[in-house]
Structures are given as structure tokens and as C-alpha cells.
Amino acid sequence: MRRWINTGKDRMSGSGAWGILALIAVWEIGVKVSGIKPYILPAPSRVLISLFQSFPLVMKHTRVTLYESLVGFMAAVVFSFVLALAMDSMPVLKRAMYPILIISQTIPIITVAPLIIIWFGYDLLPKVIIAALVCFFPIAVSFIGGLEAADREMYDLLRSMGASKFQIFRILKLPGAMPSLFSGLKIAAAYSIMGAVIGEWLGAKAGLGEFMRRSMHSFAVDKTFAAILVITLLSLGVFRVITFLEDNLMPWTRFSNIKNE
């Protein structure tokens, strides 16, 4: 059964890969046939050549962006974890804070980022803050929802047996909230790269966002596309890392999927 499921997933992945290759081929042929200027829309082959030629410089900027996004992501995880635990333990705090969390998402991060740059300068800190802000909401809301979804009958049973709040959290709430938490972590991990790039675009000394800004000002659109390619690969990479951790920290979900199939 498991082999059949893996085969099905491989087929789906293969179909997606062929679809991407077909899109790239259409892009390449369309640019060549139409004669579009490279400074407007470069062909994929030109983008790859530009990436290869600028590879050392791109990797230098990539390390900066990756570091900023990872620090911001970890800060968001810690803060989300603490806030979710506090809100779950104190219903009054939850009623006061939850609307604020929702309202905060109505403010586009691109409008707040310039203020953060003005307040904290052009060094590492503002990019970390922006990445943390982008990551915070999906992690916090997912974890809070997972803690809320704890089985009430099991909760009452543990209480009747004299379990403490910490024991109930460790035995019941945390394991039950893990699927929701990892759903938020996967979204936030991909967003963390975007948050760092937004901060760099608005003002930085290094990073993929700054590399893109310089490339755009020089009309080097091929280098801009090369940076977009690297950003996409980074986002997919951190997403896969979280998925790997999910599969290894929650092996029971794999058996659950097999059973459902």
C-alpha cells in the first residue's frame, strides 16, 4: 500500500516537473520568435547564463538573505510559542489579543517595512524584524487553533485523574496541536525568505533584495530573474526542511495517511 502511495506521489511530481519544463520551453521559444529585447524579458537560457556568470556574487547575497530569514523565522517561532501558550492558559488574554492578531494582518507589510527601516537603520536587525513579522501570524494562529482543538473528553479524563496543567499540555495538547503547528511553520518558512527580501529591497547593504534593486536600476533584467530563481529555490528548500522535520517528528501522520488511502 505504501509503495502504491509513493508511486502515485512520484507520478504527480513527475507531471509537475514536465509542466514546468513545458512552460520554460514556451517561454524560451516565445522570446526567440517574438524578438523581445533582453532588457524587457530575457530568455530562460540567458537567465541561467547570467546566474552562472554572477554566481559568486549571487551566493554572497544569498548567504545574507538566508541568515536574515532564518533568524527572523526562529524569533517568530519562539514568540508565537510563548504567546500561544499564554493565550491558551488565560482566556482573558486570548479574547484581548486575538482580534489584534487579526487586525494586524489587514496592514500590508510593505507599508510597515519602511518605518522599520527608518527606526532601526540598514543593518541586520530591521530585516530580521520584517521576516519575523511575516512569519509570526501563520505560526501563532495555527498553534493556537491546534491547542484549542484538544479532545475535551480526554482533557476531562486527565483532570479527573489529577493531572497538572503542564502534564495535560505535554500529554494531550502539544501532540494534538503538532499537525496544525507544522502547517503554520511550512507557510511561515516560505514567507521568511520573502520578508527578508522585502526588507533588503527597501534598504540594505547586501542581500538578494539589494542585488535585485541594483540589477533593476542597471536594466539587467536577466540578473533580476536569476535572483528570483534563487529566491524560489530557497523558499522551496526551507519548505522541504520543515516537511522533513514534520515527517520525522510526527511519524504517526504517515501511517494515518496510509490508512486513509
pLDDT of residue 252: 64
Note the pLDDT tens digit of each residue in 41-73.
888 888 899 889 889 999 999 999 999 999 999
Binning pLDDT at 50, 70 and 90, where does residue 15 land? Answer: low
* Residue range 198-221: mean pLDDT, rounded: 86
Residue 218 predicted with pLDDT over 90: no
C-alpha span between 117 and 127 (Å, rounded):
8
Residue linked to cell 495535560: 168
Report the C-alpha gap between 227 and 61 in whole angstroms: 9
101 in Cβ contact with 137 (< 8 Å): yes
Residue with cell 540567458: 46
Which segment of 4-8, 92-96, 116-120, 213-217 scores lowest on mean pLDDT?
Answer: 4-8
User: What pLDDT, on the 0 to 100 scale, is given for residue 185?
Assistant: 92
Q: What is the DSSP track for 178-198? A: HHHHHHHHHHHHHHHHHHHHH
Task: Return the H-helix or E-strand segment holding 27.
Answer: helix 2-34
Q: What's the rounded Cα separation, in Å, for the pair 210 and 217?
A: 11
Cα–Cα distance for residue pair 64/190, rounded to 1 Å? 16
* Cβ–Cβ < 8 Å for 108, 130: no
Per residue in 104-157, pLDDT (tens digit) is 888 888 888 888 888 888 888 889 999 999 999 899 989 988 888 887 888 888
What percent of the chain is modeled with pLDDT above 70?
A: 90
Task: Read off the pLDDT of each residue in 236-261 and give the average, rounded to a whole number.
Answer: 74
Listed residue (211, 259, 254) closest to 231, CA to CA? 211
Cell numbers standing for residue 88: 491558551
Question: The whole model's pTM is what?
Answer: 0.82
Residue 5 has pLDDT above 80, yes or no: no
- Report the C-alpha gap between 251 and 237 in whole angstroms: 21
First to last CA, the chain: 8
Q: Which domains does the chain have, with CATH numbers?
A: 41-253 (1.10.3720.10)
Percent over 90 (pLDDT), the chain:
26
Instruction: Assess whether pLDDT exceeds 50 at residue 210.
Output: yes
- Residue found under cell 501563532: 140
Q: Work out the mean pLDDT of the chain and round it to a whole number.
A: 83
User: Cβ contacts of residue 86 below 8 Å, gap of 6+?
Assistant: 93
Per-residue model confidence as pLDDT tens digits over 179-195: 888 999 999 988 899 98
